[in-house]
Copies of this chain bind each other. A is one copy, B any other.
Amino acid sequence: MARQTTLIRGARVWTGVGDTPARSLDMLVEGGRIQALEARLSTPPGAQVIDADGLLLLPAFVDGHGHLDKTLWGRPWQPHSAGPTVAERIANERSLLARLDHSPQAGSERLLRHLVTRGTTTVRSHVDVGTEVGLSHLHAVLATRERCADIATLQLVAFPQGGVGPGAGTLDLLDNAVLEGAEAIGGVDPATIDGHPTAQLDGVFAIASRRGCALDLHLHELGETGLAAVDAIIERTLSLGLAGRVVISHAFCLGELAPDRLDPLLARLAKADIAIMSHGPGGGWPRPPVRRLAEHGVRVFCGSDGVRDAWSPLNTGDMLERAYLVAYVNGLRDDAGLELALQMATSRAADVLGIEAGTLEAGAPADIVAVQAETAAEAVAAHPPRCWVMRRGQIIARDGHAAAAPQT
């Protein structure tokens, strides 16, 4: 925790939707938190002064959905080699990571240190757990969490990429993953991957209910198969009293529905308080209409998804660019829409993850990104380079590079 007191002078500060940043605000940072935010503050004795010179300050980004353990970031360029189906991609990933002698610890740390230079200081990462890899990926990313505790907060989802299988092996591993530090249990395409519409769901819901942890379930399945899974997730969330603890990630099938069928389903998702993570899908995948979801009370957020891994090279891990992609894919052109996309990468993601982050106001942690832009909407539209990144009151990156280790 930073003991340094810092006064940031003359910044534009984004505090919420529809908020035209003031021409000039001063921000006092002390004890790693924002202590005051006013038109003009006097400099406390001994304080460091940062002249923001009209830069726009945004909350540091919250990446709500990553796969740190499987990234090839920082390695030589690896041409994409997987077939188009989810099953082909899983199989290709296994053989590729084995061939490359992939290190989940080194990879996850390389990527996390990169993400920080782009303004992300919180990541929820899914981490593969299964009978082949056991808990080795989890242990690797737990080590990264420890090694990077001064620059980022990591939340881990124990993710059964290959399904839970017919025996208890993977479910036991998921259960142990929670005991060892994972905050949530994952899941993926129950009907397609496990060959049964609800067996996987019953397994992971049982663990969540017993351990009191969150659930964050990948759902790529389309059409009636996907919708049946959404139904089954809503039912179990309500019957087990897990409202507010469950996320469906991707939920492409919501993007296939006309309003007459979508809106009643959104009402049910809102009632069960099931949040939806959408990364703004391309490649012909249907997109859940995030603005409509938000208007119907469904919590929406976004994440970078895999960054340069066996699934896709089409991701830089930059969450401001991700907000842009969410806006682009969804056709969000007005300021409210652009700010919704930015909230999905800041306050709305923090809200779903249950963490204190994603807003700039007195009392909040001093996790801040500075960019050259007039308004938050412009920051999303232009996604300019990050001038500096602050975490808990310390500058941890400047001009896209890690800053020297902080003096504490």
Binds B, one of A200-208, A264-272, A324-332: A324-332
A158: min CB distance to chain B, Å: 27
- A330–B283 Cα distance when bound, in Å, is 5
From B80, B325, B373, contact of A328 by CB (8 A)? B325
A85: min CB distance to chain B, Å: 13
> Count the A residues whose beta carbon is within 8 Å of the partner chain — how many?
36
Chain B residues with CB under 8 A of A383? 316
What residue in chain B is nearest A285 (Cβ atoms)? Answer: B331
Instruction: Quickly give the copy total for this chain.
Output: 2
Which residues of A311-334 are within 8 A (CB) of B?
312-316, 324-325, 327-331, 333-334
A80 touches B335 (CB 8 A): yes
Q: Hey, what's the 0/1 contact readout for A362-379 against B, CB within 8 Å counting as 1? A: 000000000001110110
From B76, B331, B335, contact of A374 by CB (8 A)? B76
Q: Does A81 contact B (CB under 8 A)?
A: yes
From B77, B325, B334, contact of A375 by CB (8 A)? B77
- A308–B84 Cα distance when bound, in Å, is 35
Q: Hey, what's the 0/1 contact readout for A80-96 against B, CB within 8 Å counting as 1? A: 11100000000000000
Q: Does A1 contact B (CB under 8 A)?
A: no
- A283–B333 Cα distance when bound, in Å, is 9
- A333–B82 Cα distance when bound, in Å, is 9
- A79–B314 Cα distance when bound, in Å, is 29
Chain B residues with CB under 8 A of A181? none
Q: Does A148 contact B (CB under 8 A)?
A: no
If the complex has contacts A81-B334, A335-B79, A335-B80, are A313 and B283 also in contact, measured as CB distance less than 8 A? Answer: no
Q: Does A166 contact B (CB under 8 A)?
A: no
Chain B residues with CB under 8 A of A81? 334
Q: Does A381 contact B (CB under 8 A)?
A: yes
Chain B residues with CB under 8 A of A338? 313
B328 touches A314 (CB 8 A): yes
- A316–B383 Cα distance when bound, in Å, is 9
- What are 12 sample pairs from A and B whose C-beta atoms fall under 8 A apart? A76-B374, A77-B377, A79-B377, A282-B330, A282-B331, A283-B328, A283-B329, A313-B338, A313-B381, A314-B381, A316-B383, A385-B385
